[in-house]
Every structure is written in C-alpha cells, then in structure tokens.
C-alpha cells in the first residue's frame, strides 16, 4: 500500500485523474508555475535562517535577501511558467523579497520560541496496526513553552484565507496527529500559518474529536483510492494551474489541434464534427437522424483519441460514457420475472408500469440497497450509455490557454 501524504490525498480530492498522472503513472511535468518556484525559494531561505539560529547565528536582512536571490538564480530553469498576463519573473522575484523583508521585520531576532526542527519529516500511522501510514515535512516545529508545540506552515499564495478556511485545513491537522504520536506528553498543539504575501499570521487548534473524525474519513478515502479502478478527470478552477492539461482528456484535443496549420485545422475530424453538431443544434434538428449520426461519430472519435472534450474554434463538445443496465422491454423475454420481483419487493409503484429509465436511475443512485439492486441487476444486461453535449466557447475562454 502507498504511503500517503496530505498533498497526495488533496490531489485525489481535487482530481482523481491528476492523482493518477502524478502518483500512479509517475509522469513528471517539465513545467513549474512561477508561484510554486517563488514559494520554494522563500521556504529554502527561511529554512536556512532558522538552521543558523541553532548555532546562535542570526542572519542580517541583507544576508537573507542575498541568499534568496542566489537560490532564485541558481534554480531558475526555462520551464518556469507565468500564467498571469503582464507579469515578469522580476515581479515575482520582488514579491518573494517583500515576503522575506516583512517576515524579518515582524520576527527578528527570532527568539519567540525554541526551534525543534525545520523541514521536519513526520511519519505516523492512522490506525493501531500501522496499515495506513502518513508522512509529510513540517516547515517548522517550535516550542514556545514546556509541553506546547507550534506547527508552522509558510504560504506564499496570493490569496488570504478566512479563519474558517484555516480551521478546516487538513494538512496541519494531520501533522498534529503525527506530533501527538511522537510526543504524547504534549499538552497543547497550535497550528500556525504564515501568509507571507500579506504579512499575516493565522492560528487554529483541533479537538481530539475533530482529529478522530478526520482520521476515520481519511482511512475511508485511502480505502476508496486503493480500490479505485477508474480515475476520472474533475474539472475545476484549479485546472488552469494543472501541469497535466496538455495530456488531460478534458483539454488534450485543444493542445493537439493548436499546432495544425490553418488549412487543415477546420478539416480535422473532431473539429469538423463539433462544428457540425453545433450547426445542427442551432437549427434545432435535435431529433434528426443526422444529429444522432454526428453524436455517434463524435463518441467514436473521442474513444479512439482517449479524450472527453473535443474543441473547435467556437464550440466544445463534452462526451461522457457511463455504465448502465438495460432492462427487457415490454415484450422482451425476462420482463415478467422482473415485474414479479419488483412487485414482491414493494418497489413496483416507484417505477410504475415499469419505467426502465427510472429503474436504471434507481439502481445507479444506490437507493435500493446492495441486495435488492444486485437481484434486479440479474434481469438486465450491462450497457454503456453515452452523453454528448455541445457548448459555445466564449471569446478568449480559459480553454484556449496553452
């Protein structure tokens, strides 16, 4: 079984497809967002600052900034990506310098507490048998007084969280579980976030009951991941920053067609099908045979290419396949036995006159429980349903970002 970390679990929660790319297929992306690049350099400089304190060496602010700049220059690579228009690497370099300057002025000479560790590796178990193991590196652990431990996390993100957001944060709650396992005599654990861009410090704490709820929820999530056979893409605003966009089934078609010459672009099969479907939809030929044919061709194209969204310059079509059960029609074999079963179980009224669509839905949403569902399933045959919908693209829509 995998060892899990807060970021591994969060990746799965955010998007199972991204989790698969990263943690199962081990696909590394050559690109790195500049926000992440800048955050890493700031973290490294703060690590150096606190390591020096162990030997009573307090770096001056110019030394801190020189350390940051030297790391920036030595780590810089050609694949650092800037998403926000109009910003340059120097703009981000400056933001990092400002973060460190504000931090320095706020905490120098850094004697608020004893530092127990920086980039401290925690490894702990979620269950007594040691089956579900978690690990992670804490930015800094400190001890302001006997039997009290503060868990620090530096954030170089450009948004300020609410107190509710930090109170619901899982990452440091996991670290609290680890700290309590390693040092059970600890009387109090405080979770501390340093939002460096805003020069703000947030505090939060967790009750043992909330940690227990998180522990159980996490074990259930790990069990779900370990038994998952499919890892569907989950579109969200975070897709804009996803390093796997160019291979993701929701965006890959856009990237693959972006390099086509103008003369062949409109003729590309997927582009042509989406445009045809959009035109038919505009003509409101929704029940026409041609519409069905175009949808079928689009589904075949998507299956062959391994994509779920197909783009043209003006539209995109989403194609989904889901497992379903097809039941015998009114005059088919097996119909009578199915009706008898449903009447016996008192479910007949719910699908009156045996609406097989309603029956499929009742099974799909799991409302009838495992035992009855599997007995009803025996009367049907597995079937794949397809769903195709075409949407207009806005001018300059996010999908067009490369």
| Whole-number Å distance between alpha carbons of 153 and 150 | 10
> Is residue 318 a contact point for ligand SF4 (CB under 6 A)?
no
CB 359 within 8 A of CB 376: yes
CB of 278 to ligand SF4, least distance (A): 23
Select from 29, 40, 143, 235 the one that contacts ligand SF4 (CB under 6 A): 235
The count of residues in the chain is 402
Q: Which stretch binds ligand SF4 (CB under 6 A): 10-18, 217-225, 318-326, 334-342?
A: 10-18
Select from 245, 315, 316, 379 the one that contacts ligand SF4 (CB under 6 A): 245
CB of 394 to ligand SF4, least distance (A): 18
Strand order in the sheet with 309-311: 309-311, 315-326, 381-392
Between residues 7 and 381, which has the closer beta carbon with respect to ligand SF4? Answer: 7
* Reduced DSSP (H G I as helix, E B as strand, rest coil) percent helix, strand, coil of the chain, to 5: 50, 20, 35
- Binders of ligand SF4 among 204-233, rule CB under 6 A? 233
Number of residues binding to ligand SF4, judged by CB under 6 A: 14
> Is residue 238 a contact point for ligand SF4 (CB under 6 A)?
yes
> Is residue 37 a contact point for ligand SF4 (CB under 6 A)?
no
Select from 248, 273, 307, 362 the one that contacts ligand SF4 (CB under 6 A): 248
> Is residue 12 a contact point for ligand SF4 (CB under 6 A)?
no
> Is residue 254 a contact point for ligand SF4 (CB under 6 A)?
no
CB of 226 to ligand SF4, least distance (A): 20
- Beta pairing class for 133-145 and 114-125: antiparallel
Between residues 233 and 380, which has the closer beta carbon with respect to ligand SF4? Answer: 233
CB of 233 to ligand SF4, least distance (A): 4
> Is residue 234 a contact point for ligand SF4 (CB under 6 A)?
yes
> Is residue 15 a contact point for ligand SF4 (CB under 6 A)?
yes
Select from 42, 138, 177, 250 the one that contacts ligand SF4 (CB under 6 A): 250
Which SS3 state, helix, strand or coil, does residue 399 take? helix
Q: Which contacts of 178-185 are long-range, i.e. CB under 8 A and separated by 24 or more positions?
A: 178/122, 178/123, 178/124, 178/134, 178/136, 179/122, 179/141, 179/149, 179/151, 181/124, 181/125, 182/122, 182/124, 183/149, 185/147
> Is residue 8 a contact point for ligand SF4 (CB under 6 A)?
no
| Whole-number Å distance between alpha carbons of 16 and 232 | 6
CB of 21 to ligand SF4, least distance (A): 6
Question: Which residues, 6+ apart, have CB-to-CB distance to 185 below 8 Å?
Answer: 147
Select from 177, 239, 310, 351 the one that contacts ligand SF4 (CB under 6 A): 239
> Is residue 176 a contact point for ligand SF4 (CB under 6 A)?
no
Which SS3 state, helix, strand or coil, does residue 369 take? coil
Question: Which residues, 6+ apart, have CB-to-CB distance to 250 below 8 Å?
Answer: 233, 235, 239, 307, 308, 309
Structure-token pair, residue 248? 């993701």
Q: What crossing angle do the helices spanning 89-107 and 34-53 adopt, rounded to 10°?
A: 30
Q: Which residues bind ligand SF4 (CB under 6 A)?
A: 15, 17-18, 233-235, 238-239, 242, 244-245, 248, 250-251
């Amino acid at each position: 079984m995998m060892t899990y970390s807060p970021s591994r679990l969060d990746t799965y929660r955010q998007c199972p497809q991204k989790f698969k790319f990263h943690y199962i297929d081990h696909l590394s992306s050559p690109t790195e967002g500049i926000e992440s690049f800048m955050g890493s350099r700031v973290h490294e400089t703060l690590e150096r600052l606190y390591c020096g304190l162990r030997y009573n060496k307090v770096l001056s602010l110019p030394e801190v900034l020189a350390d940051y700049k030297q790391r920036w220059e030595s780590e810089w690579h050609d694949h650092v990506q800037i998403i926000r228009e109009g910003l340059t690497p120097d703009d981000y370099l400056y933001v990092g310098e400002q973060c460190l300057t504000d931090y320095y002025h706020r905490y120098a000479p850094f004697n608020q507490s004893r530092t127990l560790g920086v980039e401290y590796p925690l490894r702990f178990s979620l269950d007594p048998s040691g089956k579900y193991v978690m690990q992670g590196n804490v930015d800094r652990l400190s001890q302001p007084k006997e039997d009290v431990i503060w868990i620090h996390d530096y954030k170089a993100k450009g948004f300020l969280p609410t107190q509710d957001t930090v109170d619901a944060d899982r990452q440091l709650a996991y670290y609290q579980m680890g700290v309590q396992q390693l040092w059970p005599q600890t009387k109090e654990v405080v979770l501390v976030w340093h939002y460096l861009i805003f020069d703000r410090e947030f505090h939060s704490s967790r009750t043992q009951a909330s940690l227990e709820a998180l522990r159980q929820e996490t074990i259930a999530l790990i069990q779900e991941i370990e038994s998952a056979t499919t890892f569907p893409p989950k579109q969200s605003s975070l897709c804009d920053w996803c390093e796997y966009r160019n291979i993701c089934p929701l965006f890959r078609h856009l990237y693959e067609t972006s390099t086509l010459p103008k003369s062949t672009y409109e003729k590309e099969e997927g582009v042509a099908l989406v445009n045809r479907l959009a035109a038919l939809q505009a003509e409101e030929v929704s029940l026409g045979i041609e519409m069905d044919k175009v949808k079928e061709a689009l589904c075949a194209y998507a299956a062959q290419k391994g994509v779920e969204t197909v783009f043209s310059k003006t539209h995109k079509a989403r194609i989904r396949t889901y497992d379903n059960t097809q039941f015998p029609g009114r005059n088919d074999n097996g119909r009578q036995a199915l009706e008898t079963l449903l009447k016996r179980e008192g479910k007949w009224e719910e699908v009156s006159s045996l609406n097989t669509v309603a029956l499929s839905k009742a099974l799909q949403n799991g409302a009838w429980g495992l035992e009855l569902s599997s007995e009803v399933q025996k009367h049907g045959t597995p079937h794949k349903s397809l769903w195709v919908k075409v949407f207009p693209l806005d001018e300059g829509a996010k999908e067009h970002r490369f």
